[in-house]
Chain A
Amino acid sequence: MPVLKRGWVKLVLVVLGVIWMIPELYMISISLRSPANAFDPHLIAFPFTLLNYSIVLSQNPLIRYFDNSLIVTVATVVIVLVVASLSAFGISILRLRGSGLVYGLLLVTLMVPLTALVVPLAILLGQLRWINTYEGLIGPYSALGIPFAIVVLKAFFDEFPREIHEAAVLDGCGAWQLFRMVVLPTVRPALGFVAVWQFITSWNEFFLALVVMTRSSMKTLPLAPMEYSGMYMANPGALFAILVIIAVPLILMYIAVQRVFVAGLLEGAIKG
Chain B
Amino acid sequence: MPSRALAARRHARRQRPFHHLFVLPALAIFALFVAYPIGWVAYTSLFAVSLHGVSHWAGLGNYRSVLDNPTFWIVVRNMFYWALITIPVQMVIGGLLAWAVEEYTHRSRALFRTLFFVPVITSVVVIAIVWSNIYAPYYGILQQGLSEIGIHFQTALLGSAGTAIFAIIIVNVWEWTGFSMLMYIAGLKTIPVQLLEAARMDGASGINLARFVLVPALSGVNRSLLLLGVIGTLQTFPLVFLMTDGGPDHASEVFGTYIFRHGFVLGQTGYASALSVVVLVIALVMTLLQIRFLGSKFSLKG
Contacts and interface: CB of A to CB of B under 8 A. Distances in A.
A113 B235 contact: yes
A262 interface: yes
A170 interface: yes
A200 interface: yes
Interface string A198-240: 0010011011000100000000011101100100000010011
A254 B121 contact: yes
A27 B255 CA distance: 29
Given A262-B113, A269-B189, A250 B121 contact: yes
Contacts of B299: 155, 272
Given A90-B22, A122-B263, A122-B264, A236 B133 contact: yes
Given A119-B263, A120-B273, A96 B23 contact: yes
A194 to B, nearest CB: 14
Interface string A161-200: 0010111011000110001000000000000000000001
Interface string A80-92: 0011101101110
| Chain B interface helix/strand/loop/mixed | helix
Contact of A211 (B20, B38, B255, B264): B264
Interface in B248-289: 255-256, 259-260, 263-264, 269, 272-273, 276-277, 279-280, 283-284, 287
B8 A265 contact: no
Contact of B105 (A13, A106, A120, A175): A13
Contacts of A55: none
Contacts of A169: 8, 11-12
Contacts, number: 294
A236 B105 CA distance: 39
A57 interface: no
A118 interface: yes
Nearest to B111: A17
A20 B256 contact: no
Contact of A115 (B5, B11, B18, B279): B279
A9 interface: yes
Interface residues of B, number: 100
Nearest to A239: B129
Interface string A9-31: 11011001100111110110010
B33 A140 contact: yes
Given A21-B118, A222-B125, A86 B276 contact: no
B123 A203 contact: yes
Nearest to A111: B287
B26 A204 contact: no
Contacts of B130: 23-24, 26-27, 240, 243
A218 B120 CA distance: 25
B207 interface: no
B30 A246 contact: no
Contacts of B182: 262, 265
Interface in B1-30: 4-5, 7-9, 11-12, 15-16, 18-20, 22-23, 25-27, 29-30
Contacts of A229: 129
A87 B25 contact: yes
B112 interface: yes
Contact of B22 (A96, A115, A225): A96
B186 interface: yes
A198 B4 CA distance: 41
Contacts of B32: 124, 139, 143
A116 B284 CA distance: 12
Interface stretch (B54-62, B96-104, B159-167, B208-216): B96-104
Contacts of B143: 41
A97 B78 CA distance: 44
A74 interface: no
Interface stretch (B63-71, B80-88, B134-142, B150-158): B134-142
Nearest to B263: A119
Give 9 closest A-B pairs by Cβ, nearest first.
Answer: A90-B22, A143-B33, A120-B37, A269-B186, A41-B144, A166-B8, A113-B235, A113-B234, A39-B139
Given A204-B125, A269-B189, 17 more contacts: A1-B104, A13-B105, A30-B133, A41-B140, A89-B22, A120-B40, A121-B37, A140-B33, A143-B29, A146-B30, A166-B8, A203-B123, A206-B237, A206-B238, A225-B125, A251-B121, A258-B110
